[in-house]
Amino acid sequence: MNNAWSYSSLSLFQQCPKKYYHLKVKKDVVEKQTHALIYGNEVHKVAEKYVKDDVDIPEKYAEVCKPVHRVKQMKGEKHCELRLGMTKELEPCKFFDDNVWWRGVIDLLIVNGDKGKIIDYKTGKNSKYADIKQLDLFTVAAFTHFPHLTEIKAGLLFLVTNDFITKSYVRGDVIGIMSNFYKEVDIMDTCFKEDVWNAKPNFTCYKYCPILHCPHNGKR
């Protein structure tokens, strides 16, 4: 079985292994899409079409025009919705290859000479608690697939508030970044090997968790 992971799946596992198991492994529970998630998906598609194909942004999404236009004006070769895969040895591979260990989708990668820019669109209205660890993985993948890159500036672009949370990297950062992720993924691999998925009670149990048969679920 291929247990390829993404940052979002690892985050879900760390939130609660039991929830991860039912949503991603056994797949006997389907999580309902929220209005925020639907809106976010729509905005991602609109931004991609504008940057890639010059398709005008509909009036419905006028609030994101300025930041997306600013991105479009940045110099360099633009790769939209870029699907990347890596093996455990950090070799580049395709998204669905048999040996893929990690996979992710970069909203926008801009390559300009030996410099790169990674932009991840966010539609939330609060950047105060922005999680930039996803950028670490995207950066490692970009260095892996584009070996000529020496520096990458990655950022979370909050389209509604126009906040831009950035972090800069050089190729030498890769080993340090991945050493932490290897440890975290090893814990998830152990659950797969032992087929033990314990619940991890947290604040989401009481209102938001879709695993209704879990004894910690507050909707029971």
Average pLDDT over the chain, rounded to an integer? 95
Residue 1, pLDDT above cutoff 60: no
Residue 2, pLDDT above cutoff 90: no
Confidence of residue 129 (pLDDT cuts 50, 70, 90): confident
Alpha carbons 177 and 200: distance in angstroms, whole number? 26
Residue 139, pLDDT above cutoff 90: yes
Mean pLDDT of 39-51: 96
Mean pLDDT of 89-116: 97
Where in the chain are the domains?
Answer: 7-206
In the sheet that holds 92-93, the strands lie side by side as 92-93, 77-86, 102-112, 115-122, 151-158, 163-170
* pLDDT per residue as tens digits for the range 167-205: 999 999 999 999 999 999 999 999 999 999 999 999 989
Alpha carbons 211 and 207: distance in angstroms, whole number? 11
Residues 6+ apart with CB under 8 A from 42: 61
Q: At CA 77, angle to CA 71 and CA 82, rounded to 5?
A: 80
CATH number assigned to the domain with residue range 7-206, chosen from the 4 options 3.90.320.10, 3.30.450.80, 3.40.50.970, 3.90.1150.10: 3.90.320.10
- pTM (two decimals): 0.93
pLDDT of residue 39: 95
Mean pLDDT of 119-131: 90
Mapped onto helix, strand or coil, the DSSP state of residue 178 is: helix
Residue 123, pLDDT above cutoff 90: yes
Mean pLDDT of 144-150: 98
Alpha carbons 72 and 106: distance in angstroms, whole number? 15
Written as six digits, the tokens of 38 are 């639907």
Confidence of residue 220 (pLDDT cuts 50, 70, 90): low
